[in-house]
Amino acid sequence: MERHIPVSKPIMGEEELSRVIEVLKSGWLVHGPVVEEFEEEFASYIGVNHAYAVFNGTAALDLALKALGIGPGDEVIVPDFTFIATANVVLMQGAKPIFADVEDETLTINPDDVADKISGRTRAIIAVHLYGHPADMKALMEIAEDHHIYVVEDAAQAHGAEINGRRVGGIGHVAAFSFYATKNMTTGEGGMITTNDPGIAYRVKMWRDHGQDSRYHHVMLGGNYRMTALQAAIGVAQLRKLDSFNEARRRNAEKLSEGLRSIGGLRLPVEKPGYKHVWHQYVVRVEEGFPVGRDELARLLSERGVGTAVHYPLPIHMQPLYRSLGYPPNMCPVASEAARRVLSLPVHPALSPNDVKYIVDTMKDIASGRI
């Protein structure tokens, strides 16, 4: 049988199936008790007072910025190396994304560059916990406090990640999670906003549901961002498995690092002391000393049944949309170099020990020229 190891794979079981069947039998398919159950359990897991479920992660980021009152004339500092939604939601408010470079070690936003980019128009910083490794929230919160601005956590890839025992999503002023199919836990599509600020929580709740504080009584502008009961039913089951999923990812990452550490020209990901990485992605950087380039390595792995992906092939400021808006090239050199080098290898919980060994052995064969 031909081997195929996908770069990501959602894991569904009887728990998810039975919860969905319960919802279907109940006839209550929209926002209601199951969504509220998911929100309460997620808030407890993260360690926050408020959690509001929405239909996807981009909507969660959008509502987070709306709740902060971000609008035309404002600037929001975002990392240049992340998924484009992080910057696009700033544009969607009529505000301007200001790109900060990333740290070379973790590829999360660089607080020193953030500090350099602060202006009189800066209203917020978006900290992306990239690939499941938390950004330097201590430094970012200190900058925010000094300048009286907000920190938004983009935790789309970091469910369960921690800094000194404190879970991300409960450190900044407001946070956004995604439950897309590739994430550490999934509802297919879906998102969550978390916060401890009652004012932010109230505005998120109003915006999510047409600005109504009671049925057909609308007190502010809003839209329909609600999560369905079907999504939430899957989410409850997935959340209860999240820690076991993350521990499997951590074991797989450890085995990958053990096996790949001896390969020259291959830069491995790290976990900083005091940080808990949840390994949404295991991302290596293919450097000059490796015998083939990044794209050729991806091709050779694919031919042998190992799925890979490039997260992300361009820094955001180099995307055609942002070039058309006048952003100059080469703004963030670390982000630009990372985009040329990164390659994601499979690390998800569905991997068997033999799968991990096969990935390592195949990488070694390519590095040694046997392939």
User: How confident is the model at residue 51, as a pLDDT?
Assistant: 98
- Region 197-216: what's the mean pLDDT? 96
Domains 14-239 and 242-368 share a fold: no
* Residue type for position 135: A
pTM of the model: 0.97
Q: Say if domain 242-368 classifies as CATH 3.90.1150.10.
A: yes
Strand order in the sheet with 162-163: 166-167, 162-163, 275-276
Q: What are phi and psi of 240, to 5 degrees?
A: -70, -15
Domain residue spans of the chain: 14-239, 242-368
- Region 197-220: what's the mean pLDDT? 95
**Gap between the Cα atoms of 32 and 56, Å rounded:** 17
**Gap between the Cα atoms of 24 and 229, Å rounded:** 9
107, 120 in Cβ contact below 8 A?
A: no
CB neighbour list of residue 323: distance below 8 Å, 6 or more residues apart: 317, 329
Q: How confident is the model at residue 2 (pLDDT cuts 50, 70, 90)?
A: confident
% of the chain at pLDDT higher than 90? 98
**Burial class (CB within 10 angstroms; exposed 0-12, middle 13-18, buried 19+) of 369:** exposed
Q: How confident is the model at residue 363 (pLDDT cuts 50, 70, 90)?
A: very high
Which residue, 27, 3, 26, 36, is CA-closest to 236? Answer: 36
pLDDT tens sequence across 223-280: 999 999 999 999 999 999 999 999 999 999 999 999 999 999 999 999 999 999 999 9
> SS3 for 290?
coil
Q: Determine how many CB atoms are found less than 10 A away from the CB of residue 94.
A: 11
Strand partners, 127: 153
User: How confident is the model at residue 215, as a pLDDT?
Assistant: 92
User: How confident is the model at residue 369, as a pLDDT?
Assistant: 85
Q: Say if domain 14-239 classifies as CATH 3.40.50.12780.
A: no
Pairing relationship of beta strands 217-218 and 212-214 according to DSSP bridges: antiparallel
- Region 44-49: what's the mean pLDDT? 98
- Region 286-314: what's the mean pLDDT? 97
